[in-house]
Amino acid sequence: MQHNNVLILDFGSQYTQLIARRVRELNIYCEIHPYNKIPNHLENYHAVILSGSPFSVRAENAPHPDLSNIRGKKPMLAVCYGAQYLAHFSGGEVAPSNTREYGRANLSFVKEDDLFNGISKGSQVWMSHSDTIKALPTNGELLASTHDVENAAYKINGETTYALQFHPEVYHSTDGKQLLENFLVNIAGVKQDWTPQSFVEETVDELKSKLGNDKVVLGLSGGVDSSVAAMLLHKAIGENLYCIFVNNGLLRKNEFTDVLKQYEGMGLNVKGVDASARFLDALEGVSDPEKKRKIIGRVFIEVFDDEAHAIKDVKWLAQGTIYPDVIESVSATGGPSATIKSHHNVGGLPDFMKLKIVEPLKLLFKDEVRRVGASMGMDKNLLGRHPFPGPGLAIRILGDLTREKVRILQEVDAIFINNLKSWELYDQVWQAGAMLLPVNSVGVMGDERTYEKCVALRAVESTDGMTADWVNLPYEFLQKTSNEIINKVKGVNRVVYDISSKPPATIEWE
Ligand code: XMP
């Protein structure tokens, strides 16, 4: 089935992906394309949204695409830079603003319009720009203003073209989603036909015809993406999907056996490969973080390659790649640049990487992956799991790595995570874990002096891991967790809580 499709032209705004997520939340399919690569088949798109941009329209190197095939021919919503772009090149005027135009503002309506159905006067919107629209373009009609921005929303008479100086996609624009719905559904007539159920049905059908009777191999990590990808493939090709779940010895306590059981319970054709000894032997005594990562990557490829070879006639490698990994991004500084991650199926790579690639999730954002998983009845705990780094606990043990340190950290981490769950804090935290520090400090236990390890607990809020803030966990929780760790984990006599945000700190300590 061909879905109604919305084209989002990216001018390099930090918020472009947010526009796409808001549109998808309305059950409308959309794609992001760079402004300088407008797709050829515009007949496939039912409406167009122009994003914001870090550029000034007045700058010579600013994006100035030719929109003549779109403007007036498709319903169009121009956001921020888009709104200024329309004004600047179509008979209006854009100039540096001399009042503050960043942050919250309140809308007042100048003219009634379907764009504002269900939105009340005074609705909060989010401004983020330094130029301002001094005069509307030819045939422009003012729809709304704010205290500091006269031309906050306008439309072009005689076209289905709307423009907003503020950002409806940002959560701080409280009625932003309603406004997008008004434009897309009521004004542009786009159908809301993109649902998790429709995605599952169509993807399973596509996978069936693409893969036929071919065998597919997939590496499960215990994380959300690979698990949902496996479930979709399993629905499509059943036993022809060969899943491999590798224990690198650096997973959380009991994770390998628990998650393996869960996978088996889901009916997956999964092989658990316990390669802990191979990883830990290779890592013994290594302290440099990048060396640890390289060793783990190399050993993983060796193990996976061996296992993939053992499957006769396997043709495909499935990956849990998601949409943010494949969107071509527009550089905010050096003009348009395509920084797309790609898979290079060329010589010199391990055999399994020469397989054809299938990526069933590459159209989805992370939150959509979870919704798709839920619609297939997958376990809530599996779908709600925190992200966990590929190199696992190795990059949470600062300094040289030994089996004993892995054991200590697994115990500490298990207490921390179980307590987050029992205090119902786990789902409020984006990622949490414990770090084993390379310092011993003095303590007393009973009458005895101790000289033992220190651990740091870290819990952060984030949306994508690029920026993060530490979570204000209740003191009582920290107190109980610290006591439990020191009482139960032999070798640890001190617990600290990490209160650094990213940037400048990173989430992992190595
Ligand atoms: P940082 O420490 O860079 O982490 O703030 C951001 C996110 O990335 C994860 N992370 C990794 N994931 N291999 C991975 O698969 C790695 O080497 C790696 N290093 C960091 C980290 O857990 C966080 O979610």
Of all protein residues, the one whose alpha carbon is nearest to atom 14 of ligand 1 is 389
Closest ligand 1 atom to the C-alpha of 387?
Answer: 24
- pLDDT tier at 349, thresholds 50, 70, 90: low
Q: How far is the CA of 49 from the centre of ligand 1 (A)?
A: 32
Q: Is residue 22 classed as helix, strand or coil in its secondary structure?
A: helix
Does residue 220 share a domain with residue 346? yes
Last residue of one domain, picked from the residues 351, 383, 415: 383
Last residue of one domain, picked from the residues 167, 187, 207: 187
Cα within 13 Å of Cα(94), Cβ side: 23
Does residue 369 share a domain with residue 443? no
Residue 390 lies in a domain: no
Q: Alpha carbon of 177 to those of 56, 185, 281, 505: distances in Å? A: 26, 11, 53, 33
Assess whether pLDDT exceeds 80 at residue 408: yes
Residue 42 lies in a domain: yes
List residues with catalytic annotation: 80, 167, 169
pLDDT digits (tens, 9 = 90+) for 355-376: 999 999 999 999 999 999 999 9
Annotated binding site: 221-227
Does residue 480 share a domain with residue 451? yes
Q: How far is the CA of 460 from the centre of ligand 1 (A)?
A: 13
Of all protein residues, the one whose alpha carbon is nearest to atom 10 of ligand 1 is 389
Dihedrals φ, ψ of 494, to 5°? -150, 135
More confident residue, 129 or 304: 304
Residue 395 lies in a domain: no
Does residue 366 share a domain with residue 283? yes
Is the whole-model pTM more than 0.85?
Answer: yes
Does residue 308 share a domain with residue 241? yes
Does residue 29 share a domain with residue 150? yes
Does residue 212 share a domain with residue 78? no
**Where does ligand 1 bind, in terms of residues with CB under 6 Å?**
293, 387, 389-391, 431, 465, 502, 506-508
Does residue 488 share a domain with residue 438? yes
Residue 505 lies in a domain: no
Does residue 406 share a domain with residue 327? no
Does residue 144 share a domain with residue 23? yes
- The CATH number of residue 279's host domain is 3.40.50.620
Identify the domain containing residue 244 by its residue range: 196-383
Cα distance between residue 374 and residue 469, in whole Å: 28
Last residue of one domain, picked from the residues 383, 413, 436: 383
pLDDT of res. 143: 98
Does residue 375 share a domain with residue 324? yes
Least confident of 26-35, 54-63, 321-330, 400-409: 321-330
Q: How far is the CA of 508 from the centre of ligand 1 (A)?
A: 6
Cα distance between residue 64 and residue 299, in whole Å: 48
Q: How far is the CA of 444 from the centre of ligand 1 (A)?
A: 36
Amino acid identity for residue 397 in this structure: I
Q: How much is the mean pLDDT over the chain?
A: 93
* DSSP structural state of residue 241: E
Closest ligand 1 atom to the C-alpha of 468?
Answer: 5
When divided into structural domains, the chain yields a total of 3
Spatial contact of 190 and 2, defined as CB atoms under 8 Å apart: no
Does residue 204 share a domain with residue 181? no
